[in-house]
Chain A
Amino acid sequence: MADVLLKAIKKSYGPVEVIKGVDIDINDGEFVVFVGPSGCGKSTLLRMIAGLEDISGGTLEIAGRVVNDIEASERGIAMVFQSYAIFPHMTVRENVAFGLTIAGASKAEKEAKVAEAARILQMEHLLDRRPSQLSGGQRQRVAIGRAIVRKPEVFLFDEPLSNLDAALRLDMRIEIGKLHKSLGATMVYVTHDQVEAMTLADKIVVLKDGYVQQIGAPMDLYHNPANRFVAGFIGAPSMNFLDVEIVSREGDSARIHSDLVSEITVPAWREGVPFSGRATLGIRPQDLRTVDTGGILQGNVAIAERLGIETVVDITLKDGSRLLVSLPEDRVFEPGQPVELGFDPARAHLFALDAEATRNAA
């Protein structure tokens, strides 16, 4: 059982604390994605699990064993790097077999394990090439092959697709998803791309400024973001936020309004949402609809992007703020055209205004 448990993990470089106490439970066989903006500490966290960075505080357990002071090679992990980290002077075969060569494995064992990894990754025809003769996607395949050969209990991926072009990224994303299904190993994957996170993960960990913002299944994060940061980070285009006034609140629902928003009742279950005063209303662009009359919001079209399957409309509200609307159809808008917008208040989100509420909310 290769559970990975992070308990109150901290990391500091001198006086600068970059990971400020993180608790994450990763179950055996789970695909967990660490996601967050640059500098949030997600890569550092992964490197601490790998054993490439010392752990400044807290305990790290892999498969029931505290590994804080155990060498990277003894932790039962394999890592795939963003820059592939394949050895340029070795053939693909030698690269994939590197760990076995180090361990002094026999030639027959190497042959067998390399062949198996090559079969899983469908790269038998590449084995005798050198890295300089490979494309980015093929190189990343070699790096994954080297990881597979180690038969690790935990795979660690550090932004493995960031150096690939968009089309290849999609292919490799699907490959990695399949690989997880076929190997059934625990995988921890770091990315700044929320689409990768949403599509691959069993569980997403959203990090910001060294704190966990929320841990949960992709759809859980999408539908019930714990705070404004998670709400804005998950989903594309990003959620719209509007300042509103709470008129009254009863239990988990509140009546709100503002100069822009006519009075509606929205869910208000989040911790820290006040009973009166100002708050932030969040609405996903996909939840907004144009209506003929009686809309909740009014504005003018600034620009519309037609993508065929959807139309993303940038709307300027009365006070000059922007709002994005994503309509699931191809529609033509004229710049400056006035629009009325409506949405289902039950699908709106209410957040506390206080920026501190995004901290350590989980």
Chain B
Amino acid sequence: MASKLTRSNRAGWLMASPGIALIAAFIILPFFLAFTFSLTNQRLASPNPTKYVGFENYRDLLGLAYFTLEPERDDAGAVVRSADGDIKYPRLRNFTRNNPDYPNLQGKREWFSWQSGENRKVVLASDVVFMKALVNTITFVVVVAPVQAGLALILALLINQKLRGISLFRAVYFMPVVVSIVVVSLLWRFIYSPGDGLLNNLLSALTFGAFTPQDWLGNPSTALGSIIAMSIWQGVGFHMVIWLSGLQTISPTLYEAAQIEGSSKWQTFRYVTWPGLRNTAILILIVITMQAFALFAQIEVMTQGGPLDSTQVLVFQAFERGYGKQDISGGSTISVILFIIVLSVSLLQRWLTREKK
């Protein structure tokens, strides 16, 4: 039996239909297409017919192997050493290229390795760049989520006071949010510019010349950190406003009651403010986490994933594969993996912050 919604609302459905059609065409359809493509060898433009390949794309991205490399030995069984005393190992590609004894290593490359006695332990990945992107993305999220949320809360507490000219501060802190992330990234490229950039100049001036100018974005050890710092700066104002709205829902009489009880500033925060911000905190945590996983524009504008893949991230990889290399199925697969990660993290966060009865 048709429900009331479908029976008696012809005009309503008619008016809703353009919106529904747009949402279907640009959100729902691409979402399911990504799942479909990830199971095929679809390319952006190719004369060859598309083939169903099962989970091959996922294997190509997620394939990992662990391998112990034993040193080369001479006839007497002694370890062969090079002229400067380093242990000599057989070349890894002997095992990963067409070696029928090691089918699990086929096509994989070294991701990282460490020394264990005479042996070298190697972790190999089917797709080292993807793995680096995964680690960088997770690092980004793990740093940005707490730091950005914390800074935003501090700013919100500061601007939640009744002081003359406080709205000026609100505006100033919120300004970076209004500027497009692409513009912000371009500007920060100047700030981070090696040699004569603003940051280098500032640090040199503050340390009376003791600071050696850095190539912030060109150095693998500082590139990701620089992008993290800039991203926190850009997004903090937005979350500050959300915290502020949470702060303003707390009844002023609760503060007065605490004041009469002799509650110190910290106790007031601990017993009145923070519990009152519970729902806001959950919202902010989930929103920041999702935004951080979607990191893309900063990378695209500032580093293109470099140097040495030190700023590769998942969305940038998905984009580069899908459009740069026209490998739309590979890009889709990364998107699906990202979707699953973000979904799991959000569900985990919701479970961790659930109302305990």
The interface of chain A, by Cβ under 8 A from chain B, is: 50-52, 71-74, 77-79, 81, 83, 85-90, 98-99, 101-103, 146, 150
Contact = CB atoms under 8 A, between A and B. Distances in A.
A99 B261 contact: yes
Contact of B272 (A50, A71, A73, A87): A87
Contacts of A99: 261-262
B261 A52 contact: no
A146 B253 CA distance: 14
Nearest to B255: A85
B263 A79 contact: no
Nearest to A99: B261
B260 A79 contact: yes
B278 interface: yes
Nearest to A78: B260
Contacts of B260: 50-52, 72-73, 77-79
B257 A85 contact: yes
Contacts of A78: 260
Interface in B268-282: 271-272, 275-276, 278
B33 interface: no
A89 B259 contact: no
Contacts of B353: none
Nearest to A104: B267
Contacts of A51: 259-260
Nearest to A147: B260
16 contacts: A72-B262, A73-B259, A73-B261, A74-B262, A77-B260, A79-B260, A81-B253, A85-B251, A87-B257, A88-B275, A89-B276, A98-B258, A102-B264, A102-B271, A103-B262, A146-B261
Contacts of A83: 251, 253
A130 B179 CA distance: 45
A87 B262 contact: no
Given A52-B260, A89-B276, A89-B278, A98 B271 contact: yes
Contacts of A85: 251, 253-254, 256-257
A83 B272 CA distance: 16
A85 B258 CA distance: 9
Interface string B162-186: 0000000000000000000000000
Given A86-B257, A146-B261, 6 more contacts: A50-B260, A72-B260, A79-B257, A81-B253, A88-B276, A102-B271
A11 B256 CA distance: 19
Given A85-B251, A89-B275, A89-B278, A73 B256 contact: no
A45 to B, nearest CB: 15
Contacts of B259: 51-52, 72-73
A150 B256 contact: no
A51 B257 CA distance: 11
A74 B264 CA distance: 13
Contacts of B267: 102
Contacts of A88: 275-276
B248 to A, nearest CB: 16
A59 B124 CA distance: 80
A83 B251 CA distance: 9
Nearest to A75: B260
A85 B259 CA distance: 12
B194 to A, nearest CB: 51
CB-based closest 3 A-B pairs: A73-B262, A89-B275, A85-B257
B156 to A, nearest CB: 19
B254 A71 contact: no
A85 B272 CA distance: 11
A102 B257 contact: no
Nearest to A103: B262
A45 B272 CA distance: 26
A83 B256 CA distance: 12
B252 to A, nearest CB: 9
Contacts of A98: 257-258, 261, 271
A85 B276 CA distance: 13
Given A81-B253, A81-B257, A85-B256, A71 B271 contact: no
Contact of A102 (B253, B263, B275): B263
B245 to A, nearest CB: 18
A1 B220 CA distance: 74
Contact of A52 (B254, B256, B278): B256
Contact of B261 (A81, A89, A102): A102
A77 B261 CA distance: 9
Contacts of A101: 271
